[in-house]
């Protein structure tokens, strides 16, 4: 039996601790131990982006990140985006802009988009495309997703003004 190691993280602002198998990925740890199934396992080899999360403010692929290396880190996932039942502007824009079809890539897309908007509040279209380049969607053809991110940025700046 694989050795279990303690893992303490701040998950979407909440202090959490669980034992995980030594050598397991953050993706497995989040899904199987922390009951957060919002990051998806699409390829488990770092090519599809479905497992995208934000670790200490940086965009990361949970399937390529060793769980043990995240001890003490702050981890953000899509399941923590809505606050008090109010959707994040990105979530609203994805919902209203038909940017999710099967929905499997959506949590990763939203994380990649959030990492961009946290850094660049008013990105150009090219910057959005660049930011989503690591996330594969097989349904939408990307256009509604790109438009939704731009729409969320507009909504954000409108609220800030």
The nearer residue to another protein, 73 or 88, going by C-beta atoms, is 88
HSE value, Cβ hemisphere, 13 Å, CA-based, for 121: 8
The nearer residue to another protein, 66 or 72, going by C-beta atoms, is 66
Distances (CA, A) of 62 to 44, 52, 81, 142: 9, 6, 17, 22
User: Within 66-125, which residues bind another protein (CB under 8 A)?
Assistant: 77-79, 81-82, 87, 90-92, 94-96, 98, 100-107, 110
Report whether 108 contacts 39 (CB < 8 A). Answer: yes
Report whether 121 contacts 153 (CB < 8 A). Answer: yes
The rounded distance, in Å, linking the Cα atoms of 20 and 29 is 6
Over the window 6 to 45, marking each residue x when it contacts another protein by CB under 8 A and - when it does not, the resulting string is: -------------------------xx----xx-xxxxxx
Shortest Å, Cβ 90 to another protein: 8
Shortest Å, Cβ 99 to another protein: 8
User: Within 126-145, which residues bind another protein (CB under 8 A)?
Assistant: 136-139
83: DSSP letter: B
For residues 28, 29, 35, 37, the Cα torsion angle rounded to the nearest 10 degrees is -40
* Binding positions for another protein, rule: CB under 8 A: 2, 31-32, 37-38, 40-45, 47-48, 50, 77-79, 81-82, 87, 90-92, 94-96, 98, 100-107, 110, 136-139
């Amino acid at each position: 039996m694989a050795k279990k190691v303690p893992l303490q993280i701040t998950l979407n602002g909440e202090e959490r601790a669980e034992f995980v198998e030594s050598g397991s990925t953050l993706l497995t740890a989040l899904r199987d131990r922390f009951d957060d199934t919002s990051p998806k396992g699409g390829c488990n080899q770092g090519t599809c982006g479905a497992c995208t999360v934000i670790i200490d403010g940086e965009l990361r692929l949970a399937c390529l990140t060793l769980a043990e290396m995240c001890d003490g880190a702050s981890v953000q996932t899509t399941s923590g985006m809505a606050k008090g039942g109010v959707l994040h502007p990105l979530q609203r824009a994805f919902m209203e802009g038909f940017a999710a079809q099967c929905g499997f890539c959506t949590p990763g897309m939203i994380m990649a988009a959030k990492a961009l908007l946290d850094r660049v509040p008013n990105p150009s279209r090219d910057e959005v495309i660049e930011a989503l380049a690591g996330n594969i969607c097989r349904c939408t053809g990307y256009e509604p997703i790109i438009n939704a991110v731009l729409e969320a940025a507009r909504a954000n700046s409108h609220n800030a003004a």
